[in-house]
Amino acid sequence: DKVSYANAGIGAASHLCGMLFMSAIQTDMLTVPYKGTGPAMNDLLGGQVDFMCDQTTNTTSQIKSGKVKVFGVTSLKRVPSLPDIPTLDEQGLKGFEVGIWHGLYAPKNTPKPVVDKLSSALQDTLKSDEVKKRFAELGATTYAPDKATPGALQQHLKAEMDKWGPLIKKAGVYAD
pLDDT at 171: 75
Provide the 10 A C-beta neighbour count for residue 125.
14
Look at residue 70 in the predicted model and tell me its pLDDT: 92
Residue 46 has pLDDT above 90, yes or no: yes
Is 94 in contact with 80 (CB distance < 8 Å)? no
Q: What is the pLDDT of residue 130?
A: 93
Report pLDDT for 57: 84
**Residues 6, 43: contact at Cβ < 8 Å?**
yes
Which residues pair with residue 73 across a beta bridge?
87
Domain spans, the chain: 4-100, 101-176
Best CATH choice for the domain 4-100 from the list 3.40.50.620, 3.40.190.10, 3.40.50.1370, 3.40.50.2000? 3.40.190.10
pLDDT for the residue 176? 61
- Supply the DSSP symbol for 146: G
Distant-in-sequence contacts of 21-30, Cβ < 8 A, 24+ apart: 21/53, 21/88, 21/93, 21/96, 23/167, 24/93, 24/96, 25/93, 28/2, 29/2, 29/3, 29/4, 29/5, 30/2, 30/3, 30/4, 30/5
Q: What is the mean pLDDT of residues 9-19?
A: 91
Task: Supply the pLDDT for residue 86.
Answer: 97
> How sure is the predictor about 98, in pLDDT bands with cuts at 50, 70 and 90?
very high
